[in-house]
Amino acid sequence: GHFECPPYNQQTIRSAYHVRNIEVFKLKQLKRPIDIFMSHDWPRSIYHYGNKKQLLKMKSFFRQEVESNTLGSPAASELLQHLKPTYWFSAHLHVKFAAFMQHQANSKEELPKATKFLALDKCLPHRDFLQIIDIEHDPSAGDSLEYDAEWIAVLKATNSLVNVTQSSWIMPENNGLHAKWDYSVTEEAIKEVLEELNHNLKIPCNFTLTAACYDPSKPQKHVEPVHTINPQTTEFCAQFGLTDINDRIQQAKEEGSVRGEYEEEEEEEEMDSTGSAEEPSEYTTDNSGLSSINPDEIMLDEEGGDEDLSTCSVDPSPDHPPDFSASFSDIRIMPDSMAVSSDDAMDSTNEELEKSGVSKQVEEKSLSERPLKRIGGNENGNSGIKKIKRRNQAIYAAEDEDKIE
């Protein structure tokens, strides 16, 4: 469930990063076509659909996880295969990588869809951090941001599934334990949303200041963050009859502050249980160890030092010219804006998928053997105070990055 809020403790500052299965579940209810999907982490397995050889040349420390097919987010991979968006953009791994994934059609009548994936490098000198992509715009649509009627209808349909406790919360499945497991919405439900809004989907300009602007003349160090209820969210939830998660968390906090110690102990015991009679989720709850420990990443660490870690970028070789020109087969043709070099793009899909198609037991074993990311502290798992620091501060100096590396 969503339960973390400021001030964070040593446990919630880590768990707040995690993707909730309810968010994956809600997104999987969407049926209408999606143009663009954005995620921080890469979808697992996407590296099999691009120039994997060049990727591993740039980031050799990804090799073990790429070969065991454990790099990236399994939740994102699930959504990629389900939603089949036209474009998928990700960040996190700090390297430019493009891929073209051809999806299988669900029926003979359905035309097969394809997703163009793109990740970019860090915003630093001599790095591929920017790319312009032209996307067609519906000439009949307005220029302002608008609500999506189907998504609003999905939020209303799944509102009863909202959970603000620390207990595991498994979503309804078609396994005989749930009366309802399909929360996708009908055209009638979408029509009801449109009628609620009088067919005006324009998002209101109702921004409200909830925190004081930074004043450099009055620096405030070590100010403890406070839990704030956002009035825009409150208004949105009230308009559509949705649960305001932040408000519900605040209520739970206030109720917890007046409860006895006995009840709090019961809550801790409940947190250790599955919280449900259902089978465990198909992927682990803690995804913090699912991505490589990336020397390029700005991480939350415990000890100081602004030194720049060595990056794994390499100079372009004759086999891989810097313009990343493309020469794919018909099924892999990309627009110029998604071009990458084609060294092993053709054979990487089939052969490497077979090679890296490891069993679930091997996958779980590899997860347990790898050190988890963002973990520090004592034997009890209590991490110290986290500090955000920029590892590559030196790169912003006058020296050229190539000399530094």
**Strand order of the sheet with strand 87-90?**
36-39, 87-90, 114-119, 97-102
Is 381 a domain residue?
A: no
Coil, strand or helix at 166: coil
Residue with the larger pLDDT of the pair 320 and 204: 204
Which residues are CB-neighbours of 93 under 8 A, at least 6 positions away? 42, 59, 62, 119, 291, 292, 294
Model confidence at 392, in pLDDT bands (50, 70, 90)?
A: low
Asked if residue 338 is part of any domain, the answer here is: no
Note whether residue 26 is domain-resident: no
Same domain, 253 and 171: yes
pLDDT given at position 346: 44
Structure-token match 């009366």, residue found: 179
Please check whether residue 339 lies inside any domain of the structure.
no
Considering the domain architecture, whether residues 149 and 199 belong to the same structural domain is answered as yes
Averaged pLDDT, 183-204: 95
Chosen domain end from 112, 134, 156: 134
pLDDT at 191 over 70: yes
Q: How far apart are CA 160 and CA 315, in angstroms?
A: 53
165 and 91 in one domain?
no
Domain co-membership, 178 together with 205: yes
CA pair distance 60, 57, nearest whole angstrom: 6
Domain membership flag for residue 36: yes
Residues 112 and 162 in one domain: no
Whether residue 174 sits in one domain with residue 99: no
pLDDT at residue 171 in the model: 92
CA distances from 278 to 78, 209, 261, 287 (A): 20, 43, 29, 20
Do 334 and 116 touch, CB atoms closer than 8 A? yes
Q: Hey, what are 3's tokens?
A: 């339960």
Structure tokens at 333: 């043709």
* pLDDT at residue number 356: 46
Q: Is residue 398 part of a domain?
A: no
Structural domain contains residue 356: no
Gap between the Cα atoms of 372 and 291, Å rounded: 9
Cα-based distances in Å from 249 to 2, 163, 246, 285, 320 = 8, 9, 5, 21, 52
Are 128 and 150 contained in the same domain?
no
What is the residue range of 254's domain?
A: 145-261
Whether 278 has a pLDDT exceeding 90, the answer reads: no
Contact by Cβ (8 Å): 71, 118: no
Quote the strand ranges of 2-146, DSSP E.
36-39, 87-90, 97-102, 114-119
Residue pair 283/173 in contact by the 8 Å Cβ criterion = no
392 vs 280: which has the higher pLDDT: 392
Residue type, 212: A
CA distance 79 to 163: 21
Q: Are 50 and 119 in the same domain? A: yes
Give per-residue pLDDT as tens, 324-362.
333 223 334 444 444 444 444 444 444 444 444 444 444
Give me the mean pLDDT over the 303-313 stretch.
38
Rounded to 5 degrees, what angle do the CA atoms 33, 36, 38 make?
130
pTM: 0.66
**Can you tell me the distance from the alpha carbon of 256 to that of 271, in angstroms, rounded to the nearest whole number?**
15
Using the Cα atoms of residue 167, residue 172, residue 176 and residue 177 in order, give the sign of their dihedral.
positive
Question: Do 389 and 301 form a contact (C-beta atoms < 8 A)?
Answer: yes
Note whether 150 and 252 are same-domain residues: yes
Overall number of domains in the chain: 2
106 plus 162 within the same structural domain: no
How do beta strands 114-119 and 87-90 pair?
Answer: parallel
pLDDT score of 26 more than 50? yes
Which of 86, 104, 134 represents a domain boundary (last residue)? 134
Show the CA angle centred on residue 90, arms to residues 86 and 96, nearest 5°.
Answer: 105
For residues 128 and 193, membership in a common domain is answered with: no
Last residue of one domain, picked from the residues 134, 154, 173: 134
Query: For residue 221, how far is the Cα from the chain centroid?
Result: 31
Mean pLDDT value of segment 63-85: 96
Q: Specify whether 228 is located in the same domain as 255.
A: yes
In the numeric block, the tokens 């009890």 are attached to: 380
Residue 42 CB: number of other CB atoms within 10 A? 25
Residue 125 lies inside a defined structural domain of this protein = yes
3-state DSSP helix/strand/coil % of the chain, to nearest 5: 30, 5, 60
Beta carbons of 270 and 361 less than 8 angstroms apart: no
